[in-house]
Structure 1
Amino acid sequence: MTDKETVLIVDDEKEISDLIGIYLKNEGYAVLKASDGLEALEVLKKSEVHLIILDIMMPKMDGIQACMRIREEKNMPIIMLSAKSQDMDKIMGLSTGADDYVTKPFNPLELIARVKSQLRRYTRLNIPNEKKKDEIDIGNLSINVATHEVIVDGKEVKLTPREFDILELLARNKGIVFSIEKIFESVWKEDYYESDNTVMVHIRKIREKIEMNPRKPQYIKTVWGVGYKFEN
């Protein structure tokens, strides 16, 4: 990976910390280490960390306390490590904000697989704002503004430029009712004429392409006497 993602290993057992570090570095990750919860909090103040592997049983500040403190400010994935395998220990670890729980002794390859899985999820949820502006996801409908692609139930749907503009307008403003006049003037950039049914025709065509049942639309709802809105 070009921009290395950084993993913080928090464990007072040096052999385990070193072993995990070797596997992570082999996968291209940058590695930071701390031997207890207090030291981990200091590392987080100074360095950008994308995932934490956090042992529960440690001196000074254990993993449960550290996890609770970290979650007050940070949302990166946390994988708990523990020699205990009882369900209550797992529940306690996960209820304090951990994303995953691995019992010692563990297979390092399994731990690495979990690291990759958590980082993929974290990356998806934290896409930079510039990318988010280009993508609108509602239910089974995905709209990519940059590429003008519309995906419904995993299949691409072809819309005309005007249809796409109407869909984007409504989808960006979920729950807000737009009058036919407002839609026309926003999309066509012209004055609306009372007898013009252009918008209604376009709405009908959009529904035929994105709705499972155009007569009972899931996405674009008619607000009688007012206009249209995208279902929130």
Structure 2
Amino acid sequence: MTLKMKSDQQRRILVVDDDRKLCGLIRDYLTPLGYEVAMKHTGAAGLEAALAGNFDAVLLDVMMPEMDGFEMLKELRKSSNVPVLMLTAMGEEADRIVGLEIGADDYLPKTFSTRELLARLRAVMRRSVLTVSEAATQETEYEVNGLQLNEGTHQVHLDGEQLTLTALEFAILASLMRSRGRVKSREQLLDDVSDRKFDVFDRSIDVHMSALRKKLGDNAAAPRFIRTIRGIGYQFIVSEGGSET
């Protein structure tokens, strides 16, 4: 079975931002394009809506009172892989990296143009659909050293416990496990998992790798699963003592 991406007219978007004017501008821009836009103005209300609603993507502000965007995203990622595009007024790279590390699919500064917003939004939704679609058609399962990945069910288990990965983290892990034992460069991984152009020095692949390793409980200095090959890329370790399918 092949999954198809919905048209814009079928898309449901949740905007979580305490800036009501900006939310209204985003709604007014996306609605004529066929999007259904819901708005929440606190992190707590946004989290409740994101978990309860069948949304195709979430536009999430970083700076909100009480529960900020980072905290909401952490809670959301415990049970949902919905694509999340962070909206941030912060310019420092460290702030953007934090969002990616805890599960954001992409980020967008609040100085964005409407065309950039639409392009980024479509990209994170398309990436998510393609990841699930490819998994559903392949029905391939890998098991190495207690780590089990099923591309058909889009599930990952570690020592019998199911892990919650973002669509991009799953795609990275699947790419490495398919090529287990072989080194994959950052450029090869980007080609495998992304549909947008990355600069050569784009750090996002390393950030997502770091987040993936944390979920695997993997120590980069003494890895169980993913080894860094300095100056080249990454390698999924094939353990002689582990089972492999």
TM-score (norm 1): 0.54
The answer to whether the aligner puts 1:47 opposite 2:53 as a matched pair is yes
Q: Rate the CA distance shift 1:115–1:2 in 2: closer, same or farther, 3 A.
A: closer
Are the aligned partners of 1:9 and 1:32 in contact in 2 as well (CA < 8 Å)? yes
Q: Contact 1:9/1:52 (CA < 8 Å) preserved in 2?
A: yes
Pick one of 4, 8, 11 that aligns with 2:17. 11
What TM-score, normalized by structure 2, do the two folds share?
0.51
Residue 206 of structure 1 is matched in structure 2 by none
Q: Distance in 2 between matches of 1:128 and 1:86?
A: 35
- Alignment-derived partner of residue 65 in structure 1: 71
Assess, with a 3 A threshold, how the Cα gap between structure 1 residues 15 and 3 changes in structure 2: closer, same or farther.
Answer: closer
Counterpart in the other structure of 1:88: 94
Unpaired segments ≥5 residues, structure 2: 1-6, 142-177, 179-243
In the alignment, residue 65 of structure 1 is paired with which amino acid?
Answer: E
Which of 37, 42, 67 in structure 1 is aligned with 2:43? 37
Alignment root-mean-square deviation, CA? 2.6
Distance 1:78 1:42, change over 3 A: same
CA contact (8 A) 2:9 2:33 kept: no
In the alignment, is the contact (CA less than 8 A) between 2:56 and 2:82 conserved in 1?
Answer: yes
1:126 aligns to 2:132 (yes or no): yes
- Deviation, structure 1 residue 27: 2.3
Give the 3 Å change call, closer, same or farther, for CA 78–2 of structure 1 in structure 2: closer
Q: Which amino acid aligns with 1:110?
A: E
Contact 2:51-2:76 at 8 Å conserved across structures: no
Unaligned runs of 5+ in 1: 139-173, 175-230
Structure 1 stretches of 4+ with a deviation exceeding 2 A read: 126-129, 134-138
In 2, Cα distance between the equivalents of 1:118 and 1:22? 21
How far did 1:45 drift?
Answer: 3.6
Q: Which of structures 1 and 2 has the bigger CA Rg?
A: 1
1:86 Cα deviation (Å)?
A: 0.5
Tell me: CA distance 1:24–1:60, structure 2 relative to 1, closer, same or farther (3 Å).
same
